[in-house]
Structure formats: structure tokens, C-alpha cells
Amino acid sequence: MGHAAVTCYDCHVVDKTSRMASQCEGLKGTKTYISPMVSSATCARCHPVEVDQFLKSGHATLASAPVVENEKFLGLMYHNEGGAFFGNEKGSPSNRSPRSTGCQMCHGTQVELGPDNKPINETWPGGVGTRYPDGSVGTCTVCHTRHKFSVEEARKPEACASCHLGPDHPDIEIYEESKHGQIYHAQGENWKWDSAPDAWEPGDYTAPTCAVCHMSGIGELSTTHNVNERLKWDLVHQRSEVRSGARGDGEQGEKLMKKVCANCHGTTHIETQRDMLDNTVDMYNQYWDRAVAMKKELGDKGLLKKDPWKDPFQELMYYLWHHTGRRARHGAAMNGPDYAHWHGFFQMFQVFKDMEDLYETRLKNNKIEELSPVMSTGPL
Ligand code: HEC
Ligand code: HEC
Ligand code: HEC
Ligand code: HEC
Ligand code: HEC
Ligand code: HEC
Ligand code: HEC
């Protein structure tokens, strides 16, 4: 099992000319250079297919983009969370801490190097889309932790749970309350986890894990490291659209995901589940479109504050999309009724009603209320 024949040298020794080459005390004076940083490019020497698929997925460049290059999120991390707005110096260690303790550990960031080619500014190690100084992208150890590099481990839902959780994408929580999660918890210890790659089939397990639906070979489908491949909708952004371009091919994605279900469920069951997801997306988009229309009218009349984080209407609109609306969509997609409803639709309508109230009051008084009544993340 694992990497019996692969040695430290295979992964950590690099050419002297590498941007990441350095020497520890023991190596000084020798011709051997090493790097503690090991990206997907190293694995690609022996696993080119997996790395190629991975690089086409959202887990690669798209994942680190918000942390590295998107002005809006740089503003969130450094200006707001990092306290630049109250005068904390931009780029100082404390200013960097929201990025380095949070966003970067899930998403990845650009690794920066000091004069000895060792990583600095807490930019390493990082999350799934980490960008390395030699231009390579991706940290395979987020699912296959070092130095085991096990398939078994990556097949378990715990491999995804360190990132796919919480108020804005509670995928592990949804899984745990789904029938599939119930069966995993009740029976999982008796499943056969170590079947050969691509040969792990129903019977080895009795309900799907995250990997089964999104990655593993099952029935006629082969294993893929492109997690976007089996998705129809974009359930992350402000308005849900069928996936296209860099985010995948939604029409194809729907077909593939149905094939996953078909290994264990009948057509009627599957079509019902797919309709429920489409209807949920439709309902969510209706809320969102109305929120956008209210915001536009308020904006046209000068009734929005410049700083959205001090403006309750805009703050609530963020929660409508980013927390409650995502929970409803993810809950519906992965069969978690409590998230679809109580943490999802129920809170969506509440948030929306409060937004409507603020909207009507502002229009009636032709002014913005003095203080934000929103208790930040309070109940959301
Ligand atoms: C199959 C490739 C592979 C092999 C073989 C391998 N490593 Fe690693 N190692 C990695 C990866 C991947 C990381 C994480 C690097 C990253 O996040 O950029 C890592 C990280 C490390 C780190 C830094 C960890 C830390 O917590 O500071 C050390 C030290 C290390 N490896 C030593 C070794 C030693 C010693 C051996 C041999 C016994 C070895 N590695 C074998 C891939 C490998
Ligand atoms: C020098 C070649 C080489 C490199 C580099 C390499 N591997 Fe492997 N890997 C192998 C071979 C050969 C196997 C087949 C199984 C074995 O060795 O036991 C394997 C198997 C695997 C498996 C399946 C293990 C199982 O439980 O069946 C995983 C996962 C894996 N490698 C991940 C990685 C990752 C991640 C990296 C980069 C950090 C990496 N490998 C780098 C040669 C390599
Ligand atoms: C280290 C953190 C991390 C781990 C572990 C992780 N993911 Fe992700 N995942 C992310 C991030 C960040 C994104 C957002 C990517 C983007 O920007 O498109 C993401 C996106 C996704 C997407 C949506 C793809 C897209 O681009 O919209 C799927 C599906 C997914 N992950 C499935 C999984 C599964 C299944 C596992 C476990 C086998 C897993 N992830 C493990 C961080 C992680
Ligand atoms: C606990 C891990 C985690 C942390 C911390 C985290 N994210 Fe994410 N983020 C994710 C996951 C997982 C997704 C994908 C959700 C999905 O596909 O539904 C995601 C999605 C996103 C997306 C949408 C993806 C895209 O390509 O447009 C953006 C933007 C984003 N996060 C930005 C950030 C920023 C900025 C921070 C820090 C201020 C942050 N995230 C902190 C895990 C995390
Ligand atoms: C999001 C989690 C995740 C990430 C990230 C990930 N893997 Fe995997 N990997 C898996 C899962 C799950 C399997 C098992 C598929 C199955 O059931 O056969 C797997 C299987 C493998 C295998 C066994 C052969 C195969 O294709 O099934 C290799 C080799 C491998 N991964 C290498 C890599 C390399 C190299 C990277 C970095 C580019 C990587 N993995 C990143 C989840 C992941
Ligand atoms: C029964 C199969 C199944 C299981 C198990 C499952 N998912 Fe999903 N997942 C889906 C379906 C179906 C969708 C919606 C796909 C679509 O749009 O057609 C989805 C959507 C997602 C998305 C949202 C992608 C986006 O648009 O932002 C993420 C992230 C995700 N799953 C991660 C996970 C994680 C992590 C786990 C385990 C904790 C998991 N899934 C378990 C079937 C599954
Ligand atoms: C490996 C087999 C397997 C796969 C693949 C699978 N499921 Fe299931 N699913 C089950 C089992 C077993 C149950 C529990 C049936 C029971 O309640 O006795 C279940 C239950 C469910 C339930 C709860 C209602 C019910 O039938 O009890 C829903 C909804 C569901 N699955 C949807 C899906 C969807 C959608 C997919 C594909 C994205 C999928 N499943 C893929 C095995 C599977």
C-alpha cells in the first residue's frame, strides 16, 4: 500500500537551479539541493493523469485566485479583517493574519521566498490551490495527507471536511444528516476501503461518500481528479447558472452525476431528486433577482451607504447569498433537509423580509436609518 518504493529523494531533491532549491546544514558543501515545498508538479512525474485532471478543476488556479489576485477579496482580508481601516499597517504580520490563518489554509496563496529560498510571510504551507515559486500549482496533500499518500484516506468524507464546512458551505454537515451519512456512520467501519483505484464499487460500500459522487470511478464512470466534471449548477456565486467555461460543462455534468446515482437508485427516484435541485435553484434565484432590483432602486435614489459593511441592507444581502442561500442550495443538492430548510429557506425568507423592511422605510423617509440594526453574524 501507499508509497513503498518512493523515497525522500524522489520528492524533495530539486535541481540547484530551482527557485525553491536550498540546503540544510547537513547538505552544505554537497551537490544536493532540496525543497520542503512539494507541489503537484513533483507528483506529475509519476502521476501525470491525476495531476492533469486536478489542474483543470476549481481546486487548482481558481481556488487560490481570491486570495492572490482578486481586489474585492484582498480588500476584505487586508483592509477590513486585517484592520487597515483603523490604521493597522498594510502588509504587517498582524495585518496578514486573517489571510494566513483562514483563507490561505483552505484556498492556498502565492508562496513568497526569502533570500535563502525558504518560504516567508506565513505563505507556506497552504491550501489546495497553493501557487509555488516555480509557477506550479496545487497541494495534493489536502486529501492524501503526508507521508501516507493513501487512497483509502481520500475516499472518506473526513478528507473533504477540513474545508467544506461551516455556515457558508456546510457540506460535511449536510452529508452527516443525509441518509448516506447515516449509513456511513452506522456501517462504514465494515466497508472495504482499500480496493484498487477505479475498482472501488458499490458492495465495497453501501452508501456514497463525497468521493464516490464527485471523484471515484463507479459503474461505467472512471475516477476523476476534476471535481467540476460531475456538476450541473454553480451553487457558490450570487446567482446560480448552469456551469460553463472554466467552471465546467453543466449539461455533461448533470448526465455524469445521474450515472453515479443510477448505481443504487431507480430512474424515478433520481429524476425527482434532480427536479428538486432545479426547483431550489429557481426559487433561490427569484429571491436574489428581487434583492438585486431593490438594491438598484436604493442605489439610484442615493439610499445605499458607501461602506456595505455598515449598511444593514447590503450586509443582509450578503447573508442572503453567501450563507442562507448557499445552505438551501447545497442542502437540496446533497439531500440534507435540515440545511435545505431551517438553515436555508427559512432563514432566507427572514433575511429577505428584513431587507424589504429596510427598503420600504428608506423609500418612505427618503433617508438611510442612523444605525445598523444588523447584529453582524448573529443568528446567521
Ligand atoms: C511522494 C512524495 C514525498 C515523499 C516520498 C516524501 N515527501 Fe516529504 N513532503 C511531501 C509533500 C507533498 C509535503 C508537503 C509540501 C507542501 O505542502 O508544499 C512534504 C513535506 C515534508 C516536510 C515538511 C513538513 C513539515 O511539517 O515541516 C519534511 C521535513 C519532509 N516532507 C521530509 C520528508 C522525508 C524525510 C522523507 C523521506 C523519509 C519525505 N519527506 C518523503 C512529499 C513527499
Ligand atoms: C517517483 C514516482 C512517484 C512520485 C514522485 C509520486 N508517486 Fe505516488 N505512487 C507512485 C507509485 C509507483 C505508486 C504505486 C503504489 C506504490 O508505490 O505502492 C504510487 C501510488 C500513489 C497513490 C495511491 C496509493 C494507494 O493507497 O493505493 C497515491 C494517492 C499517490 N501515489 C499520491 C502521490 C502524491 C500526492 C505525490 C506527490 C506528492 C506522489 N504520489 C508522487 C510513484 C510516485
Ligand atoms: C484544503 C481545502 C479543501 C479540501 C480538503 C477539499 N476542498 Fe473542495 N474546494 C476547496 C475550495 C477552496 C474550493 C473552491 C474552488 C473554486 O474557487 O472554484 C473547492 C471546491 C470544490 C468543489 C466545487 C468546484 C468548483 O470549482 O466550484 C467541489 C465539488 C469540491 N470542492 C469537492 C471536494 C471533495 C469531494 C473533497 C474531498 C474528497 C474536497 N473538495 C476537498 C477546498 C477544499
Ligand atoms: C474553511 C475553509 C475556507 C476558508 C477559511 C475560506 N474559504 Fe473560501 N471557500 C471554501 C470552499 C470549500 C469553497 C467552495 C464552496 C463551494 O464550491 O460551494 C469556497 C469558495 C470561495 C469563493 C468562491 C469561489 C470562486 O472561485 O469564486 C471565494 C471567492 C472565496 N471562497 C473566498 C474566500 C476568502 C477571500 C476567504 C478569506 C477571507 C475564504 N474564502 C476563506 C473554503 C474556505
Ligand atoms: C479533493 C481530494 C483529492 C485531491 C486534492 C487529490 N486527490 Fe488523489 N485521490 C482522491 C480520491 C478520492 C482518490 C480515490 C479514487 C478512487 O476511489 O479510486 C484518489 C486517488 C488517487 C490516486 C490513485 C489512482 C487513481 O487515480 O485513482 C493517485 C495516484 C492520486 N490520487 C494522486 C493525486 C495527486 C498527484 C494529487 C495532486 C494533484 C491528488 N491525488 C489530489 C482525492 C484527491
Ligand atoms: C449522493 C452524492 C453526493 C454526495 C455523497 C456528496 N455530494 Fe456534493 N454534490 C452532489 C450533487 C448532486 C451536487 C449538485 C451538482 C449539480 O449542480 O448538479 C453537489 C454539489 C456539491 C458542491 C457544490 C458545488 C458548487 O456548485 O458550488 C460541493 C462543494 C460539494 N458537493 C462537496 C461535497 C462534499 C465535501 C461532500 C461530502 C462531505 C459531498 N459533496 C457529498 C452530490 C453529492
Ligand atoms: C452506493 C449506492 C448509492 C449511491 C451511488 C447513491 N445513493 Fe442515495 N441512497 C443509498 C442508500 C443505501 C440509501 C438509503 C435507503 C434507505 O433509506 O433505506 C439512499 C438514500 C437516498 C435518499 C433518501 C431517500 C431514500 O431513498 O431513502 C436520497 C434523497 C438519495 N439517496 C439520493 C441520491 C442521489 C441524488 C444520488 C446521486 C447523486 C445518490 N443517492 C447516490 C445509496 C446510494
In a domain, 327, yes or no: yes
Q: Which atom of ligand 4 is nearest to the CA of 247?
A: 26
pLDDT of residue 202: 98
- CA-nearest residue for atom 16, ligand 7, is 179
In a domain, 156, yes or no: no
User: Is the CB of residue 327 less than 8 Å from the CB of residue 339?
Assistant: yes
Tell me the residue length of the chain: 380
Residue 377 within any structural domain of the chain: no
Q: Are 39 and 128 in contact (CB under 8 A)?
A: no
Going from the Cα of 233 to the center of ligand 6, the distance in angstroms, rounded, reads 10
Residue ending a domain, among 94, 124, 142, is: 142
204 residue type, one letter = D
In a domain, 194, yes or no: no
Domain annotation covers residue 126: yes
- In order, the DSSP letters of 45-63 are TT-HHHHHHHHTSTTTHHH
Residue of 332, 330, 312, 276 lying closest to 166 (CA atoms): 330
- Whether residue 21 lies inside any domain: the answer is yes
Residue 262 Cβ contacting ligand 7 at under 6 Å? no
Residue 163 lies in a domain: no
Residue 180 lies in a domain: no
pLDDT digits (tens, 9 = 90+) for 120-149: 999 999 999 999 999 999 999 999 999 999
Q: How far apart are the two ends of the chain, measured CA to CA in Å?
A: 44
Q: Give the model confidence (pLDDT) of 215-246 as tens digits.
A: 999 999 999 999 999 999 999 999 999 999 99
143 lines ligand 5 (CB under 6 A): yes
Ligand 1 geometric centre to CA of 5 (Å): 15
- Grid cell, residue 72, equals 474585492
- In this prediction, residues 369-377 reach a mean pLDDT of 70
Final residue belonging to a domain, choices 101, 122, 142: 142
pLDDT digits over 269-311, tens only?
999 999 999 999 999 999 999 999 999 999 999 999 999 998 9
- For ligand 6, whether the C-beta of 351 sits within 6 Å is no
Ligand nearest to the CA of 264: 7
Amino acid at 17: T
Number of domains in the chain: 2
pLDDT at 375: 58
d(CA 254, CA 294): 33
Kindly report the number of other CB atoms within 10 A of residue 218's CB atom.
23
Return contacts of 254-258, CB within 8 angstroms, 24+ apart.
Answer: 256/221, 256/229, 256/230, 257/213, 257/230, 257/231, 257/232
**C-beta of 40 in contact with ligand 5 (< 6 A):** yes
From the CB of 8, is ligand 2 less than 6 Å away? Answer: no
Task: Verify whether ligand 4 is closer than 6 Å to residue 107 (CB atom).
Answer: yes
Whether 228 lines ligand 3, by a CB cut-off of 6 Å, is yes
Residue 119 backbone phi and psi in degrees, to 5: -65, 145
Helices (H), the chain: 8-12, 40-44, 48-55, 61-68, 71-74, 93-98, 104-107, 151-155, 158-161, 171-177, 179-187, 210-214, 250-261, 267-300, 312-319, 326-333, 337-340, 346-365
* Among protein residues, the one whose CA lies closest to atom 29 of ligand 5: 47
* Backbone conformation region of residue 335, classed left if phi is above 0, alpha if psi is from -120 to 50, else beta: left
Question: Residue ranges of the alpha helices (H) in 262-345?
Answer: 267-300, 312-319, 326-333, 337-340
By alpha-carbon position, which residue is closest to atom 23 of ligand 5? Answer: 197
Give the Cα separation of 327 and 342 in Å (integer): 9
Picking from 141, 86, 78, the residue whose alpha carbon sits closest to that of residue 108 is: 141
Would you say the CB of residue 236 lies under 6 angstroms from ligand 6?
Answer: yes
Interval 156-166: pLDDT, tens: 999 999 999 99
Boundary-marking domain end, from 142, 173, 198: 142
State which residues form the domain around 93: 8-142
Determine the Cα–Cα distance for residues 6 and 9; give it in Å rounded to an integer: 8
